[in-house]
Amino acid sequence: MEKIEEQFANLHIVKSSSGTKEPTYLLGIDTSKTVQAGTENVAAVLCSNGSIRIYDKERLNVLREFSGYPGLLNGVRFANSCDSVYSACTDGTVKCWDARVAREKPVQLFKGYPSNIFISFDINCNDHIICAGTEKVDDDALLVFWDARMNSQDLSTTKDPLGAYSETHSDDVTQVRFHPSNPNMVVSGSSDGLVNVFDINVDNEEDALVTTCNSISSVSCIGWSGKGYKQIYCMTHDEGFYWWDLNHLDTDEPVTRLNIQDVREAVNMKEDSLDYLIGGLYHEKTDTLHVIGGTNTGRIHLMNCSTSGLTHVTSLQGGHAATVRSFCWNVQDDSLLTGGEDAQLLLWKPGAIEKTFTKKENMKIASSVHQRVRVHSNDSYKRRKKQ
């Protein structure tokens, strides 16, 4: 079996998205998980103007666009069993659209409690439960839950919450990720540095909390890895990386597999540089965890992850001209979608004939957008102290 680092090194750009009227940073990418004969294969991209664009995944042309206006959208996720696409909104809702239909109004609206501002969310693997995380308001930072199923008896398009967890985070809930195969397991990350694992099948919040891990810094990314997805990795806004093994919760073995306070200082890049982390990539077939990072000039780095540290393996270049903010790896055909601050969406495929593109210049965006896009810490390596 070809290792992922070999597949990654063999990637070349086959398509670049055409320009749009309003250039934006591309902050998040997800692809449709359903493949049906005669239907287009689509990707959903979260943009810094607060909208979601639906692209044809092969041609990279924009098919339609959804807006959360006057709210801003945070996160983008396809359902697992259909072409519904979801996003959390600062107006206190989670919205669901049919990605195949150019309809402005969401097909479903999941309403939060008064004063909720949602900045993170996920839907579980059987598409039954949605969980969204809020900004801290009046000392409250919540995880809010809904039943996502369509009910033939209840044709209402608006749903109220099932309930919420309110005791386990003390600051903005920046990340929510359900387990890839267990619909009852969810992990949340926060600006308070805590990463909490819950079993939502248990009745109350205190008993549902399986464990708490501490990154000591604001959480920017979390994900599941390992055989049976019993491990959790975490990245922080000041480029820290943490890796925990839940198999060791009831043993004498340490739960922490890896703890790096600043990856930029810890990884040997030889003649190259590493400016930030983008996300993690767990390869189920080879049982390997990889970390994706990059440079401010658009190079993308693949690093192998082991208990001894992160090792730089290979890099992609010649595509982006600015910070890369998002990626989506397709396990079926080993292709890669990447999006950046140069407003480009790029499709990379293995062994393809590389096409040459004129690099787009880095773009300046309005200051209001800076308040909601991830800011990488370039200077201080100071650790955030938990109050």
Is the Cα dihedral 340, 94, 195, 78 positive or negative? negative
Give which of 16, 14, 46, 54 is closest to 29, Cα–Cα.
46
Residues in the chain: 387
Give which of 302, 372, 308, 307 is closest to 338, Cα–Cα.
302
pLDDT at 368: 39
Domains of the chain: 24-269+325-367 (2.130.10.10)
Is the Cα dihedral 283, 286, 288, 291 positive or negative? negative
CA torsion 29-77-125-225 (nearest 10°) is: 30
Token pair for residue 216? 């000591």
Annotate the chain with three-state secondary structure. Answer: CCCHHHHHHCEEEEEECCCCCCCCCEEEEEECCCCCCCCCCEEEEEECCCEEEEEECCCCCEEEEEECCCCCEEEEEECCCCCEEEEEECCCEEEEEECCCCCCCCCEEEECCCCCCEEEEEECCCCCEEEEEECCECCECCEEEEECCCCCCCCCCEECCCEEECCCCCCCEEEEEECCCCCCEEEEEECCCEEEEEECCCCCHHHHEEEEEECCCCEEEEEEECHHHCEEEEEECCCCEEEEEHHHCCCCCCCEEEEECCHHHHCCCCCCCCCEEEEEEEECCCCEEEEEEECCCCCEEEEEEECCEEEEEEEECCCCCCCEEEEEEECCCCEEEEEECCCCEEEEEECCCCCCCCCCCCCCCCHHHHCCCCCCCCCCCCCCCCC
* Cα 358-346-342 angle, rounded to 5 deg: 60
pLDDT at 46: 97
Instruction: Encode pLDDT of 332-363 as tens digits.
Output: 888 999 999 999 999 999 986 655 555 555 55
pLDDT-flagged residues of the chain (< 70): 1-2, 19, 35-39, 152-156, 352-387
Token pair for residue 360? 């787009």
In sequence order, the 6+-apart residues with CB closer than 8 A to the CB of 385 are none
Q: How far apart are CA 355 and CA 373, in angstroms?
A: 30
Predicted model pTM: 0.90
